[in-house]
Amino acid sequence: MPKWFTPLAGLCAVMFAASPVLIANAPYESTMGLVQKIFYYHLPSAWIFLLSAIVCGIASARFLFGGSPRQDRLAYAAAELTVLFGAIVLVTGPLWARKAWGVWWQWDVRLTSSLMGWMVAWAYLLVRKYGGPGSDKLAAGLALFGMANVPFVYVSVNYWRTIHPATSVVPTLPVDMGMALWFSVACFLLLFVLLLRLRVHLEEQRARLDALYLAVDD
C-alpha cells in the first residue's frame, strides 16, 4: 500500500467522528425539522454513488478498447463501491421520505433511475463472479450502461415532474447548512479514494496469486 494511505485513513476516521457534531449544530430546516439531517449523509453518498459509476464506466471503456488489466481491476473495485454507496442512498432516502413525503418509496424518475443504476452495478458484480471466461468484457459492457445512466439520474429532477427536490437546492443552502454538507462531502470523497485504493490492492494481490499458481503449476 502507498505511504499516504495510513495517515489519510486516520484523517478520514477523525473527520467521520467529527461529522455528527457539525451536523447536530447545523440549523433545522423549517418544514421538515429533525429528519432533514439525513440529508448530510444521503446527498454525499448519492454523489459518490454516481462518481463510482463513472469511474467504473471509464475504466471499463479503457479496458475494453485498451485491454489493460489495471483498468479492469479499477473497474471491478469501483463497481463494488457503486453497490455500497448505492445501498446507502437507497436506504437513507426512503427513511427520510417516510417522514417528509409520507411514503417510503415513489416510482418517480430520480428514484427509479437510481435503483436501475444500482441494479446495473449488482449485475456487473454477478457477471464477474458467475459469468465464467470472458465475463470481464461482458461486465465492462454493462458498466458502460451504468455510466450512461448517471447524467440521466442527475438531471432527471429538473426535466420531469417529480416529488424529489431539484438540483438547485445545494447552491441555495444557508452557510451553516452548507458547511456541514461540504464537510460531509469531503469525508465521503476521502473515504471513496481510500476504499477504492484498498479494493484495487485486493485485486492486485489476487492477480499476483493467480500468477503464483501458474508458476507453481509450471
Partner 1 sequence: MTLFKRVAAATLLTVSLAGLAAAQQPEPKQQDEFVPVSQLPPQDQLPAAPLLVTAYAFVWVALFAYVASVARRLSRVQREVERLESEIKRGTRA
Task: List residues binding partner 1 (CB under 8 A).
Answer: 20, 31, 33-35, 37-38, 41-42, 45, 84, 87-88, 91-92, 95-96, 98-99, 191, 195, 198-199, 201-202, 205-206, 208-209, 212-213, 215-216
Q: Distance between alpha carbon 24 and the CA centroid of its chain, in Å?
A: 24
Nearest-approach distance from CB 45 to partner 1, in angstroms: 7
Minimal distance, residue 181 CB to partner 1, in Å? 15
In angstroms, give the least distance from the CB of 98 to partner 1.
6
Query: Minimal distance in Å, beta carbon 155 to partner 1?
Result: 26
Length of the chain: 218
Q: Let me know: does 70 contact 78? Beta carbons within 8 Å.
A: no
- The nearer residue to partner 1, 175 or 215, going by C-beta atoms, is 215
- Cβ–Cβ < 8 Å for 111, 93: yes
Task: Give the DSSP letter of residue 29.
Answer: B
Residue number with CB closer to partner 1 (89 or 153):
89
Residue 67 or 69: the one with the smaller Cβ distance to partner 1 is: 69
Within 10 Å of residue 187's Cβ, how many Cβ atoms?
23
CB of 74 to partner 1, least distance (A): 15
Complex with partner 1: residue 175 or 216, whichever CB lies closer:
216
CA distances (Å), 107 to each of 93, 163, 195, in order?
Answer: 13, 10, 31
Nearer to partner 1 by Cβ, of 45 and 113: the residue is 45
- CA 56 to CA 50: how far, in whole Å? 10
Burial class (CB in 10 A: 0-12, 13-18, 19+), 162: middle
DSSP 8-state class, residue 133: T
